[in-house]
Chain A
Amino acid sequence: MKWPWLFAALLTGFVLPTGAEEKVQTDLYTVVDGYMVDPNTLQGFRTWRAAACDRCHGANQEGLVGPALVESLKVLTREEFKKTVTDGRLEKGMPSFSTSKTVTEHLDQLYAYLKGRADGAIKKAKVEPIR
């Protein structure tokens, strides 16, 4: 089942919303109910959008002309990820983001967001702050 917490929430009838809340916390990210994230991870999402990564990797990281990051980030190490984003893979069409301050200053946050997506902890591509 994709969203067991949703069914749990439905069963409890939202009487105790905090009780139905699903929280995933790792050293990279904190995710509540699959779409509310900590400020760091939120910055990662904003970086993803600002750099227009979706044009090649898909609005939901499902892959287009570029690979599906929901899969790639399962195997790519943090260092490999950083190197790929910084240097690019020009022949394959991946640009170098070394001149983009938005990206270089938020590489860790971007990694946290995409890793959260690949791990399945972040269930929607568009995330919001934790309320």
Chain B
Amino acid sequence: MKLSSKVLSVAALLAAAVTPGFAQADEELNKLSSDPKNWAMQAGNYANQRYSDLKQVNKSNVNKLQVAWIFSTGVLRGHEGSPLVIGDTMYVHTPFPNNVFALDLETQKIKWKYAPKQDPAVIPQMCCDTVNRGVAYGDGKIFLQQADSMLVALDAKSGKVVWSVKNGDPKLGAVNTNAPHIFKDKVITGISGGEWGVRGYISAYDIKTGKLAWRGYSTGPDAEMGIDPKTTMTWTDGSMQPVGADSSLKTWKGDQWKIGGGTTWGWYSYDPQLNLLYYGTGNPSTWNPAQRPGDNKWSMSIWARDVDTGNVKWVYQMTPYDEWDFDGINEMVLADINVRGQSRKVLVHFDRNGFGYTLDRVSGELLVAQKFDPAVNWATHVDMKSGRPQVVSRYSTAQNGPDVNSKGVCPAALGSKDQQPAAFSPKTKLFYVPTNHVCMDYEPFAVEYVAGQPYVGATLSMYPPPGEKNMGNFIAWDASEGKIVWSKPERFSVWSGALATAGDVVFYGTLEGYLKAVDLNGQELWRFKTPSGIIGNVFTYEWRGKQYVGTYSGIGGWAGIGMAAGLEKDQDGLGAVGGYKELRDFTDLGGTLTVFALPSN
């Protein structure tokens, strides 16, 4: 179903008929997520902050953390996301085939298990391993976004299916890896398949029935995107201006937008006061820029949509005319901080393109855009008036043209940061960011679109920046200035979501499999070697007066795909695996949840 102007206007009328704002918000979920004993959402709260008020585990005693219990998920391969904790129950998910377990926190007994049957044909369609970023809770239901695009609502008590709906066509490569998000009475979910020519969209389903409430495409005619040429605003010549008619169509050659990507598989956030949903859109298809001249709007963009109607309030494109696969889907973290001496409601986003953006989340104004990895070289800076990155010709794969290998582009396609989400501490007002420190050679070439077949059009090799060995850094970032406060080198990309706590401890996992705790200056306080590399997100909760900290371990994802099978020595020097191949010396596949706590005395 497409989002026609009719659907939009009907939705708008309905929304206008009931009380707007957060009066109709899901009160239960608001209550659950404001109690730090729970971990009721993947990011802990609507603002995507990954921060907990719990402080039993703190900087003085974190070095005494020990394993409380371990759970095997029964599935190998990449484990992204985290479990949820609601009251006395933990909800654990797995990569494909996307099993879900409800565990009793008291006994760790399995209360129920949901094991979907999915066509194995979706396995090869999943870019970068068969990951799934976790379930969502709301209205007494657990929501699972399966790989085969089925969005399933399970009764949280019994695990029985309440409703299910098909969100995409896997035969065309439209599959899912993202976690669904519950905002008000809607289940929000995205779509993957940018490497299959999928035209991206975000969808809102009714939490009670699974009926599609609205769908907003990333490209195409205004009405199908939920864009109003007069009221949807964007940063233009130093101020917010209406986007104008056909803002997307004008930036594509012919019908390329129909197979033009802009998928939506990241982490979304929500501001209940503004009633706005924030998310990012991914790369334009194909990876060969010569086949899609123009800015390719609104791929690579930050979006603010009304949760009730899907109408776009503002949109900002970070990487017009992408030439490097700098997929813009990374999380949008909402925070209230001072910028240039003024208290602002901001949105902070660490993009794959290596720039950390601070925008006014009310208006969409661009406030800060600075490199969060000094290695970034594809652009000198972002021009603050136009909001456009200033591309360096040498690293422009479009200017160099098809069948030319552009060498030494930093960051690599997996970005200075990928989906691994950052944490924000309201105490320090700083962001704690897991990053990649990787460069690439990128050679685009002409490809033909065949429905249901890969549509990529570039060959890549990735490796650490010249003269360096560390392929990752864990950094603290000041989003009001756009400055790195400190940077802790890691041998491999930090592909695990961070957690900041009121105990003045920040946690993250490493690809070697260490769960690490650092203090607010980045000094390591504690580490523990889990069974496999960590690409999951660290989470915390309290049960019977005790604080627990946990993480999945199970190597995989893009950085870890070289681990999965058959890795042989490279024939031509630096290959696609590059420095990641040494991961074999540290870890192997796994699928485990490890939960830690302080000893009882």
Contacts and interface: CB of A to CB of B under 8 A. Distances in A.
B392 interface: no
Interface string A49-60: 111101110111
A130 B541 CA distance: 65
Interface in A1-32: none
B571 A95 contact: no
A32 to B, nearest CB: 18
A76 interface: no
Secondary structure class of chain B's binding surface, majority of residues: loop
A63 B568 contact: yes
B123 A59 contact: no
A95 B124 contact: yes
B564 A64 contact: yes
The size class of the interface chain B forms with chain A is 35 or more
Contacts of B120: 90-91
Nearest to A61: B571
Contact of B450 (A63, A90, A99, A117): A99
Interface string A68-81: 10111000000000
B165 interface: no
Contacts of B457: 52
A87 to B, nearest CB: 11
B448 A59 contact: no
A93 B130 contact: yes
A115 to B, nearest CB: 15
Contacts of A95: 121, 124-125, 454
B25 interface: no
Contacts of A55: 127, 195, 454, 456
A100 B564 CA distance: 26
A67 interface: yes
B414 to A, nearest CB: 12
B283 to A, nearest CB: 14
B124 A58 contact: no
A97 to B, nearest CB: 7
B328 interface: no
A92 B461 CA distance: 24
Nearest to A49: B445
Interface in B531-585: 561-562, 564-572, 575-577
B565 A66 contact: yes
Contacts of B455: 52
A99 B129 contact: no
A50 B575 CA distance: 19
A64 B450 contact: no
28 contacts: A49-B445, A51-B453, A52-B447, A52-B454, A52-B457, A56-B124, A59-B576, A60-B576, A61-B571, A63-B567, A64-B567, A65-B129, A66-B566, A67-B566, A72-B566, A90-B120, A90-B123, A93-B123, A93-B126, A95-B125, A96-B121, A100-B450, A102-B448, A102-B453, A117-B571, A124-B572, A125-B571, A125-B572
Interface of A: 49-52, 54-56, 58-68, 70-72, 88, 90-97, 99-102, 117, 123-126
Interface of B: 120-121, 123-127, 129-130, 195, 443, 445, 447-448, 450, 452-457, 459-461, 561-562, 564-572, 575-577
